[in-house]
Amino acid sequence: MSKDRFSIGVCQLRTETDYEATMEKAEAMIRESAASGADIVVLPEMFSCPYNRQYFRVFAERGHEDTCRRLAAWARENRILLIGGSVPEREGDLLYNTGFVYDAQGQLLARHRKVHLFDVDLPGMRFFESRTFTPGKEITVFDTGFGRMGLAVCFDVRFPELFRAMARRGAEVIFLPAQFNMTTGPAHWEATLRTRAVDNEVFLVAASAARYVGFSYECWGHSMILDPYGKALAAADETEQLLLAEIDRNRIAEVRAQLPTFLHLREELYAVAD
């Protein structure tokens, strides 16, 4: 039987250009989260690799296998469910922006390849993730000892259809490793997160990287853990830190009983006509 109450820890760490330095920090933050009582720990998008096109392929050439071995070991040693942010994953000649999930025995539980790639041409910000990565093709939901959960990565949050699909498949907690930037972060980060949580009446855990001031890509930070009513259970600023929040799954049924929008969907009306 799934537990109704559990604790989630978010590690808002700054990714360094030195891989080993980053991994040492990640391990220390995960251990601190577990020691503080976290049952589930979440890392940011591209936690092991600086978020810049010049690094993606270089870090991928080293192989994602070493990172995954460490994620599995950290999950097993700390007896936690570990949402491993995302890393550059290589398969043949293709690269993916991929999140890996490990259970408390260190077994791979789920994998999400970022479905929607970050291609934008904004004032002061041009970035084309599709020049490096291949988009994933799967909606990712998985069963745990804490209920059914979903996983997306960063730009995926801009597509409400994906989050509705996860919720329709039974996800009650959705994780979003991310790295919004200094243009879109102040404008859309919190508003988008709250909207996805409220629309689907689910818990939403958004794990951002901390800001690397002066780096070519400066991340907004501001990780958040939101309840199904859009209330912030925990929120960060832009600096390195841990977030902890207690989750009560009964809150989902409570919100859906009070404001049953998710239960009154009219799917027959929403289909796009041929």
- CA dist 8 and 41 (Å) reads 6
Q: Which distant-in-sequence residues (6+ apart) come within 8 Å of 174 by Cβ?
A: 149, 150, 151, 152, 163, 166, 167, 196, 200, 202, 203, 204, 205
- CA dist 184 and 44 (Å) reads 17
Strand runs (DSSP E) across the chain, as ranges? 5-12, 40-42, 81-83, 87-91, 94-102, 108-113, 119-122, 125-128, 140-144, 147-151, 173-178, 203-208, 224-226, 232-235, 241-248
Instruction: For strands 147-151 and 173-178, give the pairing.
Output: parallel
Catalytic residue annotation: 45, 114, 154
